[in-house]
Structure formats: structure tokens, C-alpha cells
Amino acid sequence: MAMLVLSRLSFSGEVRPGATVEARWLCNHPMETGFRVDDAGQRIPRHIITQVQCRLNGELILQATPGTGWSSPAYLAFSLVVPAQGGTVAVHWLDDQGQQGRVEQRLVLAP
């Protein structure tokens, strides 16, 4: 059974056409490296995010292949230029156990 992994996407900065804003993605993934051991001395199995794709209005703007260097919760911040019509930013992730997730947030233009 797959576990529920919550994630969220938010923006920092004024969302106006042509402005640069910072997108912040936070994912509550366990990000276990496979190097730690539990209290009984048993190795905790590796469970990490292996691929992240960020899209703006369906167009790929960022692709990352993180390794064991990300801690939990996984965090990614990146800048983007707000299109004239606004739109949607989506982040899709995949981990080494085949689990995946997606979060989407609209760019609501400031009046």
C-alpha cells in the first residue's frame, strides 16, 4: 500500500505579468538514504525522490535528479517569470519505489 505524501507549492513575490516570483515546493517525503539504522541495528531501506519536473502552463521549465543529499521534508525553490496571461505551475515527482505525486498552483495575477 502506498503511503500518502503531502506536498504544497506557493509563490513569494508580487504575481504580476512580467514579474519574477519565487516558487517554493515542499514535499513531506521520508527521504531515507539507506545508510541509517534503526534502534534494533537494522538498516532503514532507501526511499528517496529520484525525479522532479516543474512545468509552467504545461511547458517544462525545470527538471532535477536529486540524490541522497535532500533531507526530509524535501524542499525546492526556483524563480520564474509570470506570463502575461498568468497560468498554472505544476510540480511532479517520482521516487525510487515507483510512488509519485503532483501538486499544481494557479498564478493568480495581482490587480
What's residue 4's pLDDT?
Answer: 86
Residues of the chain scoring pLDDT < 70 = 1-2
pTM metric for this prediction = 0.91
What's residue 24's pLDDT?
Answer: 98
Write a three-state SS string for the chain.
CCCCCCEEEEEECCCCCCCEEEEEEEECCCCECCCCECCCCCECCCECEEEEEEEECCEEEEEECCCCCCCCCEEEEEEEECCCCCEEEEEEEEECCCCEEEEEEEECCCC
Domains and CATH numbers, the chain: 7-107 (2.60.40.10)
